[in-house]
Structure 1
């Protein structure tokens, strides 16, 4: 790329995520196939990492709506995923909202970074609501469809214990 071309859409994705710029993101997203939603920079962070790290709630919402976005990419430095970054954001309310978005999108709450820490391990002691949310999400990942009793489903009035 020559110097007069400016930033690529992949680079702009990262800038927009850091700045919580809805306009830049919508402009990029209106140009399909000109960007990689999972583009990583030199330290292994994606736009989603930066949206989580900088508390960019609008950017996080827009990024998570994009097809094929990978939620659990670990960066090179700490091995952190976007969820690891989100739990460390200083504003507890914004952190909680971004964590909720990531969990609803399917982020893995049990993934460990290079220090063997799960996102839950990085939560500040005074953020009990966030810790509880992560614990519940981790437990939900451990529950398998086979763990749910058949009697819980609605049937046509037949007894679940029925006779053979």
Structure 2
């Protein structure tokens, strides 16, 4: 779409063009023309092409790093929208682009994918064919496979590890609570004894030993 044609285009058509052409100036202009963050969010997340691709897909299918970087900085931007036909996420789309490029582009492609993963793209999402992003990677591109698998492993194990410095504190807190409970139990037992005579004391001692035993 030429510059003259863009003048009469809708905001959504201009957005699609900006993402396809890596036109950060046009994208900035459209975003700044929005009246609120909510309008920006709705516009960027809901705009789709006639084929059902979102803006993020269009940028990823062309490997447009700069535009993707801008999109990911926007409020509440959706990282894993799906295409209508294949059910691809933008991460799937980026990998399809990398697969079509010569090996010399792999370092750039890896940097793009890493940025997307760090921004929140899921490495485990499956498309309609049941394939995750890593399953689309060219087998010869071992570096990209390892990169995605590293993020997949991290997402699977998030929250499973305990800080070693915190463990003694947690243990101490548990032990302290147990000791406090024991003291409270003994206090309750003491309250049961009125101390009126020796037989009553003997009976109380017997019950106390039975509880502890």
Mapped pair 1:31 → 2:33:
yes
**Is the partner of 2:146 in helix, strand or coil?**
helix
Give the 3 Å change call, closer, same or farther, for CA 82–16 of structure 1 in structure 2. Answer: same
Tell me if structure 2 keeps the 8 A contact 1:51–1:60.
yes
Displacement of 1:115 in angstroms is 0.8
Structure (1 or 2) with the larger CA radius of gyration = 2
Query: How much has 1:5 moved relative to structure 2?
Result: 7.1
Residue 144 of structure 2 corresponds to 130
Contact in 1 for aligned 2:134/2:148 (Cα 8 Å): yes
Map of 1:71 onto structure 2: 79
SS of the residue 2:164 aligns to? helix
TM-score norm. by structure 2 comes to 0.67
Measure the CA separation in 2 of the matches of 1:53 and 1:151. Answer: 43
Quick check: 2:88–2:128 contact (8 Å CA) kept in 1? yes
Q: 1:152 to 1:8 in 2, by over 3 A?
A: farther
1:28-62 residue CA offsets vs partner (Å, 9 max, x unmatched): 11112377001122222111111111011111101
Distance 1:82 1:152 in 2: 39
Write the distance in 1 (CA, Å) between the matches of 2:121 and 2:62: 18
Q: Which residue of 1 aligns with 2:183?
A: none
Provide the secondary structure at the position in 2 that maps to 1:37.
helix
Q: Is the 8 A contact 1:110 1:119 kept in 2?
A: yes
Structure 2: give runs of 5+ residues left out of the alignment.
Answer: 176-213
Partner of 1:148: 161
Q: CA deviation at 1:94?
A: 2.8
Q: Aligned-pair distance for 1:127?
A: 1.3
What is the CA RMSD across the aligned residues, in angstroms?
2.3
- Judged with a 3 Å threshold, the aligned counterparts in structure 2 of structure 1 residues 65 and 6 are, in CA distance, closer, same or farther, namely same
Contact 2:6 2:14 in 1 (8 A): no
Judging by fraction of residues, say which structure has more helix: 2
Moved over 3 A (4+): 158-163
Q: Residues 7 and 119 of structure 1: is their aligned pair in 2 closer, same or farther, counting only changes over 3 Å?
A: same
Q: Please state if 1:121 is matched with 2:135.
A: yes
TM norm structure 1: 0.86
Cα distance in structure 1, aligned partners of 2:123 and 2:117: 8
Change (3 A) 1:152 1:85: farther
